[in-house]
Amino acid sequence: MPRITCGQAANMLLHEDMHELGKLADVEVCRLFPVPIRTYIVDRNINYSNVCSCGCKFCNFWRKENSDEGFVLEKDQILTKIQELVDLGGIQILLQGGHHPSLSLEWYLDMLRTIKSHFPKIHIHGFSPPEIFYFHLHFGKSIETILKEFQQAGLDTVPGGGAEILVDRVRQLTSPGKCTSDQWLEVMRTAHELGMRTTATMMFGHLETAAERVEHLDHLRKLQDETGGFTAFICWPFQPYGTRLANEYEICHRRNCPAGNHLHLAGVQDYLRTLAVSRLFLDNFENIQASWVTQSPPIGEIALKFGANDFGSLMLEENVVASTGVRFKILEEELQEYVRRAGYQPVRRNCYYQLEK
pLDDT in tens, 211-267: 999 999 999 999 999 999 999 999 999 988 878 787 777 666 555 565 556 777 888
What does the pLDDT read at residue 261?
62
Mean pLDDT value across residues 185-206: 97
Q: What is the pTM of this model?
A: 0.92
Rg (CA), the chain: 19
Distance, CA of 215 to CA of 148 (rounded, Å): 30
The H-assigned helical ranges of 88-235 are: 105-118, 129-139, 143-153, 168-174, 181-193, 210-227
3-class SS of residue 210:
helix
Find the mean pLDDT for residues 26-46: 95
Instruction: State the Cα–Cα distance between residues 133 and 189, nearest whole angstrom.
Output: 12
> Does position 318 have pLDDT exceeding 50, yes or no?
no
Which pLDDT score, from 0 to 100, does residue 69 have? 79
Q: Which of 7-11, 66-70, 93-97 has the lowest mean pLDDT?
A: 66-70
Residue 272 has pLDDT above 80, yes or no: yes
Per DSSP (E only), the strands in the chain are 37-41, 43-47, 92-96, 123-126, 198-204, 230-237, 250-252, 262-264, 287-289, 310-313, 345-348
- Residue 168: band (very low, low, confident or very high) from pLDDT cuts 50, 70, 90: very high
Mean pLDDT in residue range 109-115:
98
322 DSSP 8-state letter: G
- Within 10 angstroms of residue 122's Cβ, the number of other Cβ atoms is 21
Q: Is 147's pLDDT higher than 70? A: yes
Over range 325-335, report the average pLDDT: 71
Q: What is the mean pLDDT of residues 315-338?
A: 66
With beta carbons less than 8 A apart as the criterion, state whether 31 and 313 touch. Answer: no
Residue 142 confidence (pLDDT) above 60 = yes
Could you tell me the pLDDT band of residue 325, with boundaries at 50, 70 and 90? very low
Average pLDDT, the chain: 90
Assign domain 6-348 one CATH number from 3.40.50.80, 3.40.50.880, 3.40.50.11860, 3.20.20.70.
3.20.20.70
pLDDT of residue 322: 44
What does the pLDDT average to over 73-79?
95
Q: Which residue has the higher pLDDT, 149 or 318?
A: 149
- Please tell me the predicted confidence (pLDDT) of residue 254: 55
d(CA 24, CA 4): 12
Please give the pLDDT value at position 113: 98
Q: Name the most confidently modeled range: 313-322, 328-337, 343-352.
A: 343-352
User: Highest-confidence range of 79-88, 91-100, 234-243, 344-353, by mean pLDDT?
Assistant: 344-353
Q: Residues of the chain with pLDDT > 90: what percent?
A: 73
Domain boundaries, the chain: 6-348
Q: E strands along 9-131, which residues?
A: 37-41, 43-47, 92-96, 123-126
Is 63 exposed, middle or buried, given 0-12, 13-18 or 19+ CB atoms closer than 10 A?
middle
Q: What is the mean pLDDT of residues 309-331?
A: 64
Tell me, what's the pLDDT at 320?
Answer: 46
